[in-house]
């Protein structure tokens, strides 16, 4: 068997990136004390919006008169996907922050809403394809058997890494991050010293939605450059689980996402290589078994307790 280690890592990065993007956004949302379960719905909104924008912008009737538009089309798609995700998130924000609706119920409604709206918009795009938004580096770097380890990815892969770093820096090193955490840990105190709890949470929710939207565009522009209903196939739920798994920390989020990607890819390699001494269901269950083991070990440790933001999932209701 000619095992290509580099190629395997490229596969791992491919399956991990959308989960990582969505989970990074949700981390900020949950740190501000809001539980938005609608990640899957926002991803689907991003997937269709990103695909539609890319498809329309790369239409020859426009790109003939403006050749730059064709080259920019996938980037435009990502921006539109982020906007669509944020728009869905702001709808959720309006319901829970302004109207005081139950966060769990509203989040689940957002999943169904996102699925429905994306199917409706997507009906006209079934059977269409766009050019995949994969490599940005020239072929001699991106197709090199070894160098592709660093250069062979879609811009969104690098973006995901950068955003994990930015979120880590924001939460731990900036004053604004401190305010966001304060709002998530004790909304009344933050309110009483003059911070706008609702305003901070609106911002966090919009950011989370934009990241979920970009994660969705990774499906419809990078992995399979086409639109298919429900194409995210439950990755939003994995992203949600990952935030809990990470103990609400950016570094562990990155590790956890790659852990999941590693085991999913191992499963595929094991099956394709005919390791039939273990049933395939064993490999399929591995990521989840390992998740339970890690969670059990983490919660057994003293410091593992009370990692969740104290106000997570509770609506802010000041007395006055």
Partner 1 sequence: MTIITRRSFVKSAAAVSAAPLLGRSAFADEPLKVGFIYLGPIGDFGWTWAHEKGRKAMVDALGGKVAADYVENVAEDASATPVLRDLAQQGHKLIFTTSFGYMDQTIQVASEFPNVMFEHATGYKHAKNVGTYNNRFHQGRSVQGTIAGMMSKSGVLGYVGSFKVPEVVMGVNSFALSAQAQNPKATVKLVMIDSWFDPAKESAAAETLANLGCDFIASHTDSPAVLQLCEKRKLFGFGQGADMSRFAPHAHLTAIEDIWGPYYTSRAKAMLDGSWQSDDAWWGMKEGSVVMSPYNKSVPDNVRAAADKVIAGWKDGSYDVFTGPISDQSGTEKVKKGERIADKDLAVIDWYVKGVQS
Alpha-carbon gap, residue 46 to 40, rounded angstroms: 10
Alpha-carbon gap, residue 89 to 131, rounded angstroms: 28
The pair of structure tokens assigned to 282 is: 């064993």
CB of 239 to partner 1, least distance (A): 13
Q: Which long-range contacts (CB under 8 A, 24 or more apart) does 166-172 make?
A: 167/24, 167/27, 167/28, 167/250, 168/250, 168/251, 170/28, 171/28, 171/31, 171/250
CB of 291 to partner 1, least distance (A): 17
Q: Buried b vs exposed e over 71-92: b needs ≥16 C-beta within 10 Å?
A: ebbbebbbbbbbbbbbbbbebb
Decide whether 98 or 143 has the Cβ nearer to partner 1.
Answer: 143
Decide whether 124 or 318 has the Cβ nearer to partner 1.
Answer: 124
CA distances from 83 to 4, 159, 166, 210 (A): 38, 16, 20, 6
CB of 268 to partner 1, least distance (A): 4
Among candidates 164, 20, 156, which has minimal Cα distance to 78?
156
Decide whether 190 or 231 has the Cβ nearer to partner 1.
Answer: 231
Angle between helices 5-31 and 250-272 (to 10 degrees): 140
Helices (H), 143-231: 148-151, 155-173, 175-185, 187-192, 197-217
Maximal C-alpha separation, the chain = 70
Cβ atoms within 10 Å of 145's Cβ, excluding its own: 10
CA distances from 309 to 185, 186, 275 (A): 5, 9, 43
Name the site residues for partner 1 (rule: CB under 8 A): 1-4, 7-8, 10-11, 14-15, 18, 102, 104-105, 108-109, 112, 116, 119, 122-123, 126-129, 132, 134, 219, 223-235, 264-265, 268-269, 271-274, 276, 280-281, 284
The SS3 assignment for 119 reads helix
């Amino acid at each position: 068997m000619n095992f290509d280690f580099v190629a395997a890592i490229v596969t791992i990065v491919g399956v991990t990136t959308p989960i990582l993007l969505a989970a990074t956004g949700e981390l900020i949302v949950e740190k501000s004390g809001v539980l938005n379960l609608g990640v899957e719905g926002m991803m689907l909104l991003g997937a269709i919006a990103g695909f539609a924008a890319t498809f329309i912008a790369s239409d020859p009737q426009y790109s003939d008169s403006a050749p730059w538009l064709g080259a920019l089309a996938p980037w435009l798609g990502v921006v539109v996907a982020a906007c669509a995700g944020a728009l869905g998130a702001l709808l959720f924000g309006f319901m829970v922050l302004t109207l005081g609706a139950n966060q769990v119920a509203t989040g689940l409604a957002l999943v169904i809403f996102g699925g429905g709206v994306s199917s409706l918009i997507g009906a006209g795009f079934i059977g269409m394809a766009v050019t995949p938004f994969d490599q940005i580096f020239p072929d001699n770097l991106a197709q090199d058997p070894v160098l592709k380890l660093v250069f062979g990815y879609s811009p969104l892969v690098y973006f995901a890494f950068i955003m994990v770093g930015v979120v880590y820096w924001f939460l731990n090193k900036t004053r604004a991050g401190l305010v966001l955490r304060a709002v998530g840990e004790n909304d009344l105190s933050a309110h009483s010293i003059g911070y706008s709890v609702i305003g901070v949470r609106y911002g966090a929710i919009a950011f989370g939605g934009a990241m979920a939207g970009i994660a969705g565009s990774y499906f419809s522009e990078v992995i399979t450059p086409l639109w298919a209903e429900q194409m995210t196939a439950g990755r939003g739920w994995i992203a949600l689980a990952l935030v809990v798994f990470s103990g609400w920390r950016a570094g562990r989020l990155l590790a956890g996402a790659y852990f999941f990607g590693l085991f999913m890819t191992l499963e595929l390699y094991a099956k394709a290589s005919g390791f039939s001494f273990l049933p395939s269901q064993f490999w399929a269950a591995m990521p989840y078994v390992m998740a339970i083991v890690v969670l059990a070990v983490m919660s057994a440790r003293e410091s593992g307790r009370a990692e969740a933001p104290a106000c997570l999932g509770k609506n802010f209701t000041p007395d006055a």
